Structure 1
Amino acid sequence: MTDTPATNIVFLLFPGITQLDFTAPAQALSRMPGATLVGAAANREPILTDSGFAIVPTHDFASAPQADILCIPGGHGVADALGDAATIDFIARQAAGAQWVTSVCTGAFLLGRAGLLAGKRATTHWAYTHLLPLVGAEHAKARVVEDGNLVTSGGVTSGLDFALSLIARLRGDAMAQAIQLAIEYDPAPPFAGGHPDRAPKAITAGLKDHVYDAAAARMEAALTSA
């Protein structure tokens, strides 16, 4: 019997992160045999999430091990992180040695700022997909998009789908299915409206008006700034 390969899974952490972008794939990936999870930030002070509670990083950028799988979550804090040179440098350095480079939600734009999406097919949260060309990417309309060793996923909950897909690639379908069963990921949402293609138009319009039009404009401004 061959030994299970060790796999370092490094998640970028930053203020304003959407916690489920991080915790959903982390929950699945942590159960993959051989996995070691790392939460890396500029320092090891607690990181305030968008949910009001904090996450404590395991490493700072300088001490983080080389990732086999690099994962960049999203959140409203991405717009600020785009202007942080240390964060972008960390992503670029880690990506250069990673087997897989991945993102959840608007984390795709941090990959893009690090020069990793040029000429690639990619996805992100539905409210921001029109901004992908600003980082040289072509939007592919799918929940999980793979292009070479780059894997991007849509908004928030799609991080769990990406994680299970990657586990299947690395450890086989049976292992991914076992982990899916262990965490009882058996979606049965009360409404068939988790994407604008299926949500009532009034709900989509209201959410854009109250949240995402302004958020996307802020992201665009951050992406187009020097």
Structure 2
Amino acid sequence: MTEQKTDIAFVLYENMTALDLVGPYEVLSAVPSATGHFVAATREPVRADNGLTVQPTTTFAELTRPGIVVVPGGSGWRNALEARDLIGWLAAVHPTTSWTTSVCTGSTLLAKAGVLAGRTATTHWACRDVLAGLGVEVSTDRVVFDGDVVSAAGVSAGIDMALRLVARVWGEEAAQRITLGLEYDPQPPFDTGSPDKAPAEMVTALHAAVNAL
């Protein structure tokens, strides 16, 4: 029996963080029955916050029923909160998606679109208070499943989120195979990847820098 095809929308907006997008893309695009789409307000190239440019393959107006949505975070999230086309599209497509997901501060966009009403979600550690201020029950977990919504903490957590989603949708063997293919075997050279582990002064400085964006 042929496996049902799944259209996955990877949302683009100015000054998103590239790894928020590309991490989940590399995982989910490895599923043979999945088709990835880079969706934005227009087909004009979109610049990530560190300069990488991504070419949209479709627009919000054209892609109206994706099976899965992935919303990255980035330094442009505050401006994206005011992007009516983007927020309106998220609100419109969520009722018919199988899964709506976010990485990092992408969860603030889901909150603005009403997707996280009454739900628990996570975000980058430096923006937890912002997400809470949008009426969301905030978790410190790296990946949070709440019904058909999945959120990941900061940046690199998007890879974990995508692998867990693959396991949930296509089975653990598929997720294990993708993990091996990516050689995803984290061995960070510095144990400062969490605010619980990093020096307090570093945490304070980075928190201020992130919230000044």
Question: TM-score interval w.r.t. the shorter chain?
Answer: over 0.9
Amino acid at match of 2:107: A
Residue in 2 that maps onto 1:130: 129
Task: State yes or no: 1:162 paired with 2:164.
Answer: no
CA offset at residue 36 of structure 1?
0.2
Runs of 4+ displaced beyond 4 Å = none
Residue in 1 that maps onto 2:210: 212
Amino acid at match of 1:50: D
The separation in 2 between residues aligned to 1:86 and 1:162, in whole angstroms, is 26
If the length of structure 2 is used for normalisation, what is the TM-score? Answer: 0.97
CA offset at residue 176 of structure 1?
0.2
Per-residue CA deviation, residues 44-81 of structure 1 (Å, 9 max, x unaligned), is 01001112121000001111251111111111111111
**Partner SS, residue 22 of structure 1:** helix
Per-residue CA deviation, residues 114-158 of structure 1 (Å, 9 max, x unaligned), is 011111110000000112222221011200001000101000000
Residue in 1 that maps onto 2:185: 186
**Partner SS, residue 21 of structure 2:** helix
Unaligned runs of 5+ in 2: none
Residue in 2 that maps onto 1:44: 43
**Partner SS, residue 151 of structure 2:** strand
Amino acid at match of 1:113: K
Indicate conservation of the 8 Å contact 1:8/1:65, yes or no. no
Amino acid at match of 1:214: A
What's the C-alpha RMSD, in Å, of the aligned pairs? 1.1
Per-residue CA deviation, residues 15-57 of structure 1 (Å, 9 max, x unaligned), is 0110110000000000012000011101001001112121000
Residue in 2 that maps onto 1:32: 31
Residue in 2 that maps onto 1:90: 89
Unaligned runs of 5+ in 1: 216-226
CA offset at residue 208 of structure 1?
2.4
CA offset at residue 10 of structure 1?
0.4
> Identity percentage over the alignment?
42
